Amino acid sequence: MKNDKTPLKDRPLRNPGQSIQDERTDILFDKFIPLVTAVVLAWLFMFIEWGRYFFSSPPHPWTASIVFVTVTSYAAWKIFKLTPKMRALKLAEDGEKVVGQYLEALRESGYRIFHDVVGQGFNIDHVIIGPAGIFTVETKTWNKPHSNAHIRFDGENLSINGLNPDRDPVIQAKAQASWLREILNESTGEKFAVRPVILFPGWYIDDSRENKRDLWVLAPKALPHYLENEKTKIEPESVCLAASHLAKFIRSEERTRDKRKIR
All residues at 6 or more sequence positions from 128 whose CB lies less than 8 Å from its CB, including other chains:
103, 106, 111, 112, 113, 134, 135, 137, 197, 227
Query: If pLDDT is split at 50, 70 and 90, which confidence band does 124 have?
Result: very high
Q: Do 128 and 247 share a structural domain?
A: yes
Query: If pLDDT is split at 50, 70 and 90, which confidence band does 6 have?
Result: very low
Q: What per-residue confidence (pLDDT) applies to 1?
A: 42
Q: Which helix (H) or strand (E) holds 139?
A: strand 133-139
d(CA 128, CA 115): 9
> Treating both helix axes as pointing N-terminal to C-terminal, what angle do 61-103 and 33-54 enclose, rounded to 10 degrees?
150
Q: What per-residue confidence (pLDDT) applies to 5?
A: 41
Q: Do 222 and 125 share a structural domain?
A: yes
Domain boundary among 60, 92, 124: 92
Domain boundary among 36, 60, 92: 92
d(CA 239, CA 232): 13
Q: Do 123 and 66 share a structural domain?
A: no
Could you tell me if 165 and 158 are in contact, meaning their C-beta atoms sit under 8 angstroms apart? yes
The per-residue pLDDT for range 215-233, each reduced to its tens digit, is 999 988 889 888 988 887 8
Report the relative pairing of strands 133-139 and 194-199 from DSSP bridges. Answer: parallel
Q: What per-residue confidence (pLDDT) applies to 174?
A: 94
Domain boundary among 36, 62, 92: 92
Most confident of 83-87, 108-112, 258-262: 108-112
How many domains are contained in the chain?
Answer: 2
Could you tell me if 99 and 16 are in contact, meaning their C-beta atoms sit under 8 angstroms apart? yes
All residues at 6 or more sequence positions from 49 whose CB lies less than 8 Å from its CB, including other chains:
59, 60, 61, 63, 64, 65
Could you tell me if 158 and 218 are in contact, meaning their C-beta atoms sit under 8 angstroms apart? no
More confident residue, 184 or 53: 184
Q: Do 87 and 128 share a structural domain?
A: no
The answer to whether residue 201 sits within a structural domain is yes
Q: Do 74 and 130 share a structural domain?
A: no
CA distances from 187 to 84, 229, 253 (A): 41, 29, 14
Closest by alpha carbon to 217, among 162, 174, 163, 166? 174
Could you tell me if 181 and 192 are in contact, meaning their C-beta atoms sit under 8 angstroms apart? yes
pLDDT at 175 over 80: yes
Query: If pLDDT is split at 50, 70 and 90, which confidence band does 95 have?
Result: confident
Least confident of 23-32, 115-124, 216-225: 23-32
The answer to whether residue 97 sits within a structural domain is no
Q: Do 204 and 131 share a structural domain?
A: yes
Q: Which helix (H) or strand (E) holds 138?
A: strand 133-139
The answer to whether residue 12 sits within a structural domain is no
d(CA 36, CA 112): 43
More confident residue, 237 or 87: 237
Q: What is the rounded average pLDDT of the residues 139-166? A: 80
The answer to whether residue 2 sits within a structural domain is no
d(CA 17, CA 117): 10
Range of the domain at 43: 18-92
The per-residue pLDDT for range 246-255, each reduced to its tens digit, is 999 988 888 7
Q: Do 188 and 87 share a structural domain?
A: no
Could you tell me if 166 and 141 are in contact, meaning their C-beta atoms sit under 8 angstroms apart? no
d(CA 5, CA 253): 21
Q: What is the dihedral of CA 126, 128, 134, 140, to 10 degrees?
A: -40
Q: What is the DSSP letter of 29?
A: I
Instruction: Give me the chain's average pLDDT, please.
Output: 80
Q: Do 55 and 120 share a structural domain?
A: no
Length in residues, the chain: 263
